[in-house]
Amino acid sequence: MTATNDFIPITPYTHNIEKGIFQWSAPSNIALVKYWGKRDDLGHQIPANPSISFTLNHYKTITSVAFEKKVNQDNWSFDLLFEGQPKEEFKPKIQKFLERIAPFMPFLKDYHFTINTQNTFPHSSGIASSASGMAALAMNFMSIEKALNPEMTEEYFYQKASFLARLGSGSACRSVKGNLVVWGNQENIEGSSNLYGVPFSGKVHSIFENYQDTILLVDKGEKQVSSTVGHDLMHNHPFAERRFEQAHENIDQLIPIFENGDLEAFIKIVESEALTLHAMMMTSMPYFILMKPNTLQIINAIWKYRNETKTPVCFTLDAGANVHVLYPENVKESVLQFIQSELVGYCQNGQYLCDQIGFGAATL
Ligand code: PMV
């Protein structure tokens, strides 16, 4: 198994490069089994339980990093542009990311970086871009490292990219490679690691190909409680230990479900996971609720529609009020009709986003 120290280069880079530029896109992802709670005693962003997610396709961050050798190598220096314009507000997050990855990227202080980033999600959609943003950034820094050390294997390249993305934002490590990605040590998933996400290596039924995710934008406002605070409240949480075990059990149960395509069983686990995540929030101290009345209206409408039509459609939630509606491609037309006639009224300004499973980061 790979350990944190394996990501520190031990020999000097073999190539010397004055300047260059790379550009990567990385998508968002939606967890089926949720990561909620960290093991701070084991390092930065180590999950308290394993998680598994669908990688999304259309909604992504596109980031380029230009780099040029500089004279003063005392500290790192970078400019941050959002859609081509300087964006000072984003700089502290990038600064923190660079501090975290510095021990693993000895070249950081040799260059000045110009980071230019943009999202494909509509402006102010309330969709968090930290997973896609940190993944896209990590890919670019790995491309620079590979240019300095071209002998690097592809396996190391992607593992370390996911490792770096994790240091930026935990779930970002699941946005690097693969359509179903596991993050966190899981006994029955070979190669799984707390340090980086790995593509799920088991058999996957064709029903999951092009699986659809329609994101209903219920509330686009700023969240009252950040994920960082939420994760932290799992320390000394009365149900935490049982919850962490349950995540292992749910992943175990999903392994044969991915193979046999039993959507009824899939739905039970996915919806239970979403409600468990929010139950953990409601039973934290202090407690909090991120769902809104319309979140519950949508859930009830999905249950009613599923009961009446037997369509295998279900919901999941991330740490917010928006609802991800998940369904196989073969019922796309009827589900979209249902969403337009029954659910759009619960969305803020009638807004929703259509996405589907994708394969991770791509170089442009
Ligand atoms: O990566 P973070 O720290 O933003 O946490 C993400 C937590 C959830 O989205 C709620 C669950 C998950 O596994 O993505």
At residue 74 the predicted structure's pLDDT band, cuts being 50, 70 and 90, is: confident
In terms of pLDDT, which residue wins out, 111 or 223?
Answer: 111
Asked whether the beta carbons of 151 and 17 are under 8 A apart, the reply is no
Nearest to 47 by CA among 36, 55, 56, 57: 36
Predicted confidence (pLDDT) per residue in 34-68, tens digit: 999 999 999 999 999 999 999 999 999 999 999 99
Protein residues whose CB sits closer than 6 Å to any atom of ligand 1: 31, 34-36, 51, 130, 169-171, 227, 231, 277, 318-319
Beta bridge partners of 38: 47
Model pTM?
A: 0.97
Question: Half-sphere exposure of residue 170, counting CA atoms within 13 Å on the CB side?
Answer: 28
Beta bridge partners of 30: 54
**Which mutation among 29, 32, 36, 38 tests ligand 1's pocket best, with the greatest number of atoms within 8 A of CB?**
36
Q: Write down the pLDDT at residue 124.
A: 64
Q: Write down the pLDDT at residue 126.
A: 64
- Quote the ligand 1 centre to 76 CA distance (angstroms): 29
Predicted confidence (pLDDT) per residue in 237-262, tens digit: 999 999 999 999 999 999 999 999 99
> Quick count: other Cβ atoms within 10 Å of Cβ 124?
10
- Quote the ligand 1 centre to 19 CA distance (angstroms): 35
- Protein residue with its CA nearest to atom 9 in ligand 1: 318
In terms of pLDDT, which residue wins out, 52 or 128?
Answer: 52
Token output for 349: 């300004």
- Quote the ligand 1 centre to 34 CA distance (angstroms): 7
Asked whether the beta carbons of 25 and 84 are under 8 A apart, the reply is no
Token output for 99: 């501090």
CA atoms of 260 and 95, how far apart (whole Å): 45
Q: Write down the pLDDT at residue 122.
A: 77
> Quick count: other Cβ atoms within 10 Å of Cβ 56?
25
- Looking from the CA of residue 171, the nearest atom of ligand 1 is 1
Token output for 361: 């980061």
- Quote the ligand 1 centre to 257 CA distance (angstroms): 23
H or E segment to which residue 158 belongs: helix 154-168
Beta bridge partners of 324: 215, 316
- Quote the ligand 1 centre to 14 CA distance (angstroms): 37
